[in-house]
Amino acid sequence: MASIKLKAKSKNGVTSVKALINHPMETGLRKDKKTGEKIPAHFIQEVTCDLNGERVMTAYWGGSVSKNPYVAFNIDGGAKGDAITLAWVDNKGEKDSVEDKVD
């Protein structure tokens, strides 16, 4: 199952990108209620977006971002049918990406 739901729409020369990422986003500071042990840190460190293979956005995140983060941003340019890719990498080396077409 993909961890990213991605939507991109182009209007008047601006592409609007919206994504929901399924990820636990643990800070490493919370304790397990049953064991009292700290839950290990597990969070997304980098989110990138490419439009037609060209990097248009890089975001560096930390443990303070909420579980299952939602991200939205605009890109100057882009047109219907262009390829858009969103990817993430976390502090454990896990990663995912999804490619879609701009609507």
Question: Three-class SS string for 52-97?
Answer: CCEEEEEEECCCCCCCCCEEEEEEECCCCCCEEEEEEEECCCCEEE
Average pLDDT, consecutive stretches of 10 residues, N- to C-terminus, the chain (103 residues):
92 97 96 96 98 98 96 96 98 98 98
pLDDT of residue 1: 61
pLDDT of residue 2: 79
| Whole-number Å distance between alpha carbons of 4 and 88 | 9
pLDDT of residue 44: 98
- What letter represents residue 27's amino acid? T
Torsion of CA 23, 19, 65, 2, to 10 degrees: 10
pLDDT of residue 52: 97
- Domain residue limits, the chain: 4-101
Asked whether 87 and 21 are in contact (CB, 8 A), the reply is: no
| Whole-number Å distance between alpha carbons of 33 and 40 | 14
Overall CATH class of domain 4-101: mainly beta
